[in-house]
């Protein structure tokens, strides 16, 4: 196979480090997150980080922290982005990157879901449910897993996010049946009950050693307006989502999809797709930072995950050609050192290389939508939506 650097390919690689915020969002106080700074606090608690590649790219020029210092000659353009959406979750962040900005927050149910939701749900699935509380995914299995196995009733729970989660042991409720239950819930959860995501949470194991599997699936609301990836596909460029990207957008603008259960799987899929040397967008979400470490208040594992991503960077860069765009960013924060397990309202880092991007300070972008418009511009596509492309502009 010839090197990508010897071809006329035009590609864009968008990597989302899910939950890797960098603090100091202007409106963080309104969300109760004025003390959150995911990257800095992870590095202070479990560092210094060994991240020579992120340092070389310029992450330390965005936010210096133990193990990631400013570079005198960063390899990439660098900056930060602020969120405009009325939300601080995965859906709001990804949608805004694609030019769909949430004007009202998704509803949350800290006291569980009302009878108007649960009664029709139980009737349509033909069985009762357990829990119906706000809880972490691991705690709810410890509290209700054994009863679930004994009764066959699925565990329904939520969190501080706008989610309706259904947990079921794969030997008790087969995965495909669990997905059908989620589709039923999605149809019920509309209008005032329109949570951002219904999430299938299959697990295996025995009491005291439950383990969630990679068969998670998200059933999202569809974006309420056309997103930038739809415009890119309409112009003839394929968009390939890796991980939960297809689910976040309900497939709108994500014509191709490959599942990935872990960060390592997502990176492996990305490298394999880059090796195919096919044009278009490769859009990957690395979810472990958020789901495994941020929500579980585990800064040590978070730090090690950042280091493993750092180790993967040379493999990504070596597969890119001069006509390829690379963008590394995040969708929100999830500071594992703060009280609680909620997402945090933070700025997110931005590292960019490709045509029109000499190493320089991109400043603080006024909206995540600048990322999507930049990708559209890379393919010569005009998208009628918020945000501005960043190619070749001066420091802002």
pLDDT in tens, 103-128: 999 999 999 999 999 999 999 999 99
Contact 92, 343 (CB under 8 A): no
* 291 within a domain of the structure (yes/no): yes
Query: Is residue 181's pLDDT more than 60?
Result: yes
* 396 within a domain of the structure (yes/no): no
Crossing angle, helix 115-125 and helix 175-188, to 10 degrees?
A: 140
SS3 of residue 271 by DSSP: helix
- Report the C-alpha gap between 233 and 319 in whole angstroms: 23
Query: Is residue 289's pLDDT more than 60?
Result: yes
Together in a domain, 69 and 154: no
pLDDT in tens, 68-116: 999 999 999 999 999 999 999 999 999 999 999 999 999 999 999 999 9
- Report the C-alpha gap between 306 and 273 in whole angstroms: 22
* 79 within a domain of the structure (yes/no): yes
* 299 within a domain of the structure (yes/no): yes
Residues 6+ apart with CB under 8 A from 116: 193
pLDDT on residue 7: 54
Together in a domain, 90 and 230: yes
DSSP string, 308-339: HHHHHHHHHHTT--TT-EEEEE-S-B--TTSS
Strands (E), the chain: 11-17, 77-81, 130-134, 155-158, 163-169, 197-204, 211-212, 217-220, 239-242, 256-258, 280-286, 325-329, 348-353, 361-365
Q: Tokens 């989502």, residue?
A: 241
**With bands split at pLDDT 50, 70 and 90, how would you rate the model's confidence at 137?**
confident
pLDDT on residue 1: 31
pLDDT on residue 86: 95
Please report which helix (H) or strand (E) contains residue 147, including its range.
helix 137-151
Identify the domain containing residue 358 by its residue range: 4-104+222-378
Query: Is residue 6's pLDDT more than 70?
Result: no
The residue-averaged pLDDT of 303-328 equals 98
**With bands split at pLDDT 50, 70 and 90, how would you rate the model's confidence at 2?**
very low
Together in a domain, 205 and 334: no
- Report the C-alpha gap between 252 and 222 in whole angstroms: 8
Together in a domain, 252 and 317: yes
Domain boundary (196, 220, 244) is at 220
- Report the C-alpha gap between 43 and 41 in whole angstroms: 5
- Report the C-alpha gap between 333 and 39 in whole angstroms: 9
The angle subtended at Cα 121 by Cα 117 and Cα 127, nearest 5°, is 135
pLDDT on residue 136: 86
- Percent of the residues in the chain that have a pLDDT greater than 90, as a whole number: 92
Phi, psi for residue 151 in degrees, rounded to 5: -100, -25
The residue-averaged pLDDT of 149-154 equals 98
Phi, psi for residue 116 in degrees, rounded to 5: -65, -20
* b (16+ CB within 10 A) / e for 251-279: ebbbbbbbbbbbbebbbebbeebbeebeb
pLDDT on residue 3: 42
Together in a domain, 353 and 253: yes
The angle subtended at Cα 79 by Cα 268 and Cα 341, nearest 5°, is 65
Query: Is residue 385's pLDDT more than 80?
Result: yes
* 23 within a domain of the structure (yes/no): yes
Contact 156, 130 (CB under 8 A): yes
- Report the C-alpha gap between 275 and 321 in whole angstroms: 12
Together in a domain, 68 and 175: no
Together in a domain, 187 and 236: no
The residue-averaged pLDDT of 148-171 equals 96
Together in a domain, 340 and 368: yes
The residue-averaged pLDDT of 235-257 equals 97
* 392 within a domain of the structure (yes/no): no
Domain boundary (198, 220, 242) is at 220
In angstroms, what is the C-alpha Rg of the chain?
Answer: 21
Task: Find the CATH number of the domain harbouring 361.
Answer: 3.40.720.10
Strands (E), 159-279: 163-169, 197-204, 211-212, 217-220, 239-242, 256-258
- Report the C-alpha gap between 328 and 11 in whole angstroms: 14
pLDDT on residue 138: 85
Contact 305, 289 (CB under 8 A): yes
Together in a domain, 250 and 356: yes
* 81 within a domain of the structure (yes/no): yes
- Report the C-alpha gap between 228 and 111 in whole angstroms: 36
- pTM (2 d.p.): 0.90
pLDDT in tens, 193-227: 999 999 999 999 999 999 999 899 999 999 999 99
* 24 within a domain of the structure (yes/no): yes
* b (16+ CB within 10 A) / e for 72-104: eebebbbbbbbbbbebbbbbbbbbbbbbbbbee
Together in a domain, 276 and 212: no
Q: Tell me how many domains the chain contains.
A: 2
Domain boundary (220, 238, 260) is at 220
Together in a domain, 136 and 88: no
Task: Find the CATH number of the domain harbouring 166.
Answer: 3.30.70.1250
**With bands split at pLDDT 50, 70 and 90, how would you rate the model's confidence at 160?**
confident
Average pLDDT, the chain: 95
pLDDT on residue 395: 41
Of 89, 83, 98, which Cα lies nearest the Cα of 24?
Answer: 83
Together in a domain, 150 and 83: no
The residue-averaged pLDDT of 22-41 equals 95
């Amino acid at each position: 196979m010839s090197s990508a650097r010897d071809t006329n390919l035009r590609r864009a690689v968008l990597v989302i480090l899910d939950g890797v915020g960098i603090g100091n969002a202007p409106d963080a106080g309104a969300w109760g997150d004025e003390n959150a700074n995911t990257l800095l606090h992870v590095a202070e608690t479990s560092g210094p980080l060994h991240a020579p590649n992120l340092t070389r790219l310029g992450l330390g020029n965005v936010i210096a922290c133990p193990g990631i210092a400013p570079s005198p000659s960063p390899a990439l353009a660098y900056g930060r982005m602020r969120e405009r959406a009325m939300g601080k979750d995965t859906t709001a962040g990804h949608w805004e990157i694609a030019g769909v900005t949430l004007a009202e927050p998704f509803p949350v149910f800290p006291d569980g879901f009302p009878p108007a939701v649960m009664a029709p749900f139980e009737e349509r699935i033909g069985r009762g449910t357990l829990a119906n509380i706000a809880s972490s995914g691991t705690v709810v299995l410890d509290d209700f897993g054994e009863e679930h196995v004994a009764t066959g009733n699925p565990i329904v729970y939520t969190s501080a996010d706008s989610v309706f989660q259904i947990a079921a042991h794969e030997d008790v409720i087969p995965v495909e049946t669990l997905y059908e239950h989620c589709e039923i819930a999605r149809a019920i959860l509309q209008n005032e009950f329109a949570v951002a995501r219904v999430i299938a949470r299959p697990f295996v194991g025995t009491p005291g050693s439950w383990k969630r599997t990679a068969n998670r699936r998200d059933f999202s609301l569809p974006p309420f307006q056309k997103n930038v990836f739809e415009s890119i596909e309409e112009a003839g460029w394929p968009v390939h989502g890796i991980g939960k990207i297809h689910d976040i957008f309900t497939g709108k603008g994500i014509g191709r999809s490959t599942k990935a259960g872990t960060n390592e799987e997502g990176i492996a899929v990305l490298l394999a797709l880059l090796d195919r040397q096919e044009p278009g967008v490769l859009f990957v979400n690395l979810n472990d930072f958020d789901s495994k470490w941020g929500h579980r208040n585990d800064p040590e594992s978070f730090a090690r995950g950042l280091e493993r991503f750092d180790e993967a960077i040379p493999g990504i860069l070596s597969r890119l050609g001069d006509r390829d765009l690379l963008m590394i960013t995040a969708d929100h924060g999830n500071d594992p050192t703060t009280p609680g397990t909620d997402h945090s309202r933070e700025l997110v880092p931005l590292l960019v290389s490709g045509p029109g991007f000499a190493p320089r300070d991109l400043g603080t972008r006024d909206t995540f939508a600048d990322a999507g418009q930049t990708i559209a511009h890379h393919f010569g596509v005009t998208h009628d939506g918020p945000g501005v492309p960043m190619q070749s502009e001066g420091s802002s």
